[in-house]
Amino acid sequence: MPARDHLDDVLIYQIYPKSFRDGDGDGVGDLRGIIEGLPYIADLGVKWIWLSPIFASPMADNGYDVSDYTAINPLFGSMADFEDMVAAGKKHGIRFILDIALNHTSSAHPWFQAAVQDAHSPYRDWYHFRPAGAPANNWQSIFGGPAWSIAGDNGLQYLHLFDTSQPDLNWENPAVRAAIYQAMRFWLDKGIGGFRLDVVTVISKPPGLPDAPNPRPEALYPMLCRGPRLQEFLREMHREVFAHYDGLAIGEAPGVDPALAAKLVDPADPMLDLLYHFDLVAPARDAHGDWDRIAFKQVFSSWDSGIGSRGVNTIVLSNHDLGRVVSRFGDALGFLRESAKALQALVILSRGVPFIYQGDELGVPNTPFTRLEEIDDVWAKTTYRLKREAGASEDAAFAAAAAMTRDHARTPFAWDGSRHGGFTQAPAPWLKLHPDFASFHRAAQDNDEDSPLAFARALIALRQSDALWQRGTFTDLVPRDHDVFLFARRLDGREARVIINLRSCPAEAPEHLPIDRQDGLLLSNYRQPGSHEMLRPWEVRIWEVRVGDPAAP
């Protein structure tokens, strides 16, 4: 495991393989498509790609339901394609982080099949089975409904924290752990750059699986990530796997707080290199139902100080499970470009490893879905079904599913203005593209120096060229300001500042601002110089404080 400072220049770009680029014309993105797209990623300045799952899977949850941990899903290509992809990445200085769903398998996995078919199979103990009867405890599945379903003919029930097709593995059983570690080594031996460990913080279940005081998913996660053996399992995984390779261990960590996170990423007690939490993506709401800027800023500070300087924090505002960042936090209707850029600056220039989700660099907004048939996401379909069962009208149930569907993040990437955005040559892509892709596709932005893409490139270049942005301390200078985020990054006597107007109306600057390069301005998302006192909607200014500057502390 690399020491902490090897993480300094890590910046991660997440690819959702199904939606990135279709290399073989079947309407679905694939590994050949990723190879074709590598020059674009390299041009962004990215060296680390996290790929959402590519292992064999029935795709009930788009690969987070694995049926073979050491096979490539034929939908995405072959093992030879995979090896070519790793080699092509190497030429660009890019490493791949694979996504492994290890809390559960697919119900189609031979382990689960053997376990269900034969009561004496050793695999019976690889999952959490209980005899027929009332649900074995009160836990609710994250996707809705009880966390217990029935397998086979005699009422045997099994635990699934997610979809019914995703039975939870029993991590108490050492054979389960050994099998997962073996699969991880298989891929690391092929030269990958590490793993993103799907919901790894819930692998250690409380002994006996007792009822939860509050079985709703939002309470269950925090309870489960305090599982008694989590840290023991992570240390073991480090010993058995990561200690032998030059690769990153990145934990997806719903429910974790900064104090626990600090332990899990402490290099002195190796478990994970990085973990990412969800406190930023679900900030508190204010009295108007809008996201609360002060609470949001507070999350940056509490995680920054909570992780401290031993481990490294992460900055994640978006991924394949969430609506588009510009639609959740920005102003996709009034100030799409400005707010997309402002959010990029926040992610890339705060302290922590930035995660950029595919398409965010183009400012892609949420997609207006109009019919249930346009939706693919199993979670959204479950939401629709449960709403209908509870008596909601078709329209109301559809509205609920369309609002929360993870498909917003999964619409195919638009490469150019041709049919289907150049994503595929097939008659139709697996999921519809955003209907306005013509206004934000990559080719258009490539030649536009004022585009979100150009701004993302400039921000990444800035971060990667200066240790101040990678390692410098983080201080929120106006934590009580309702409109503006102003933070300082300091290293070795130098200081840079980032100011962002988090609103679609002008905001008063809390202090004297530089206007142009002569004042030390490094970057801004407006071409015309602004004023010393006011910020325009979603305006960002980034500057280095010069010695003797009146704005210096």
Is 297:479 a contact under the CB 8 Å cutoff?
Answer: yes
Binding to ligand GLC by CB under 6 A, coded x per residue (else -) over 301-320, reads -------------------x
Site string for ligand GLC, 80-119 (x = CB under 6 A): ---------------------x------------------
Q: What are phi and psi of 23, to 5 degrees?
A: -90, -15
Beta strands in 442-533 (DSSP E): 473-476, 484-491, 494-501, 507-508, 521-524
Q: Which is nearer to ligand GLC, 255 or 520 (CB)?
A: 255
Q: Does 360 bind ligand GLC (CB under 6 A)?
A: no
- Say if residue 302 is exposed, middle or buried (CB neighbours under 10 Å; 0-12, 13-18, 19+): middle
Q: How far is the CB of 91 from ligand GLC (least distance, A)?
A: 29
Q: Which residues pair with 543 in a beta bridge?
A: 497, 521
**By Cβ distance, which residue is nearest to ligand GLC?**
64
Is residue 198 close enough to count as binding ligand GLC by CB under 6 A?
A: yes
What residues numbered 218-257 form the site for ligand GLC, per CB under 6 A? 252
Instruction: Rank residues 56 and 101 by Cβ distance to ligand GLC and give the closer one.
Output: 101
Q: How many residues bind ligand GLC (CB under 6 A)?
A: 9
Residue 252 a catalytic site member: yes
Q: Applying CB under 6 A, does 407 fall inside the site for ligand GLC?
A: no
* Whether the Cβ atoms of residue 27 and residue 433 lie closer than 8 Å to each other: no
Instruction: Kindly state whether residue 355 participates in binding ligand GLC, applying the rule CB under 6 A.
Output: no
Nearer to ligand GLC, 320 or 457 (CB): 320
The correct pick among 16, 50, 55, 162 for binding ligand GLC (CB under 6 A) is: 162
Largest interatomic CA distance in the chain: 79
Counting beta carbons within 10 angstroms of the beta carbon of residue 209, is it exposed (0 to 12), middle (13 to 18) or buried (19 or more)?
middle
Give the residue, chosen from 199, 253, 312, 356, that forms a contact with ligand GLC under the rule CB under 6 A.
199
Whether 481 sits among the annotated catalytic residues: the reply is no
Reading the block at residue 75, the tokens are 């939908």
CB 85 within 8 A of CB 92: no
Using the structure block, give the residue that is written with the tokens 């010993």: 239
Helix (H, G, I), strand (E, B), or coil: what is residue 149? Answer: strand
Q: Which of 24, 81, 198, 481 is catalytic?
A: 198
Decide: is 348 part of the binding site for ligand GLC (CB under 6 A).
no
Which among 30, 61, 168, 252 is annotated as catalytic? Answer: 252
Smallest gap, in angstroms, from Cβ of residue 251 to ligand GLC?
11
Give alpha helix (H) positions in 225-335: 230-240, 258-264, 293-307, 325-328
Name 524's bridge partners. 541
Please say whether the beta carbons of 378 and 61 come within 8 A.
yes
CB of 362 to ligand GLC, least distance (A): 22
In terms of CB distance, is 64 or 469 closer to ligand GLC?
Answer: 64
Query: Among residues 68 and 519, whose Cβ is nearest to ligand GLC?
Result: 68
CB of 157 to ligand GLC, least distance (A): 20
CA separation for the pair 295, 307 (Å, rounded): 18
Q: Which is nearer to ligand GLC, 261 or 523 (CB)?
A: 261
Distance (Å, whole) CA 402 – CA 20? 22
Closer residue to ligand GLC, CB minimum distance, 64 or 487: 64
Amino acid at site 404: M
Instruction: Give least dist CB 57 to ligand GLC, A.
Output: 11
Residue from 69, 80, 64, 65 nearest 30 by CA: 80
Residue closer to ligand GLC, measured from CB, 188 or 199: 199
What are the start-end ranges of the H helices in 419-484? Answer: 442-446, 452-465, 467-471
Of the pair 34, 203, the CB lying nearest ligand GLC is at 203
Q: How far is the CB of 61 from ligand GLC (least distance, A)?
A: 5
User: Binding mask 46-75 vs ligand GLC (x if CB under 6 A, - otherwise)?
Assistant: ---------------x--x-----------
Torsional class of 548: left (φ above 0), alpha (ψ -120 to 50), beta (otherwise) = left
**Min CB(363)–ligand GLC separation in Å:** 23
Q: Which of 343, 335, 297 is nearest to 536 (CA)?
A: 335
**Shortest distance, position 104 Cβ to ligand GLC, whole Å:** 7
Smallest distance from the beta carbon of 538 to ligand GLC, in angstroms?
28
Tell me which residues are annotated as active site: 198, 252
Residues that bind ligand GLC (CB under 6 A): 61, 64, 101, 162, 198-199, 252, 320-321
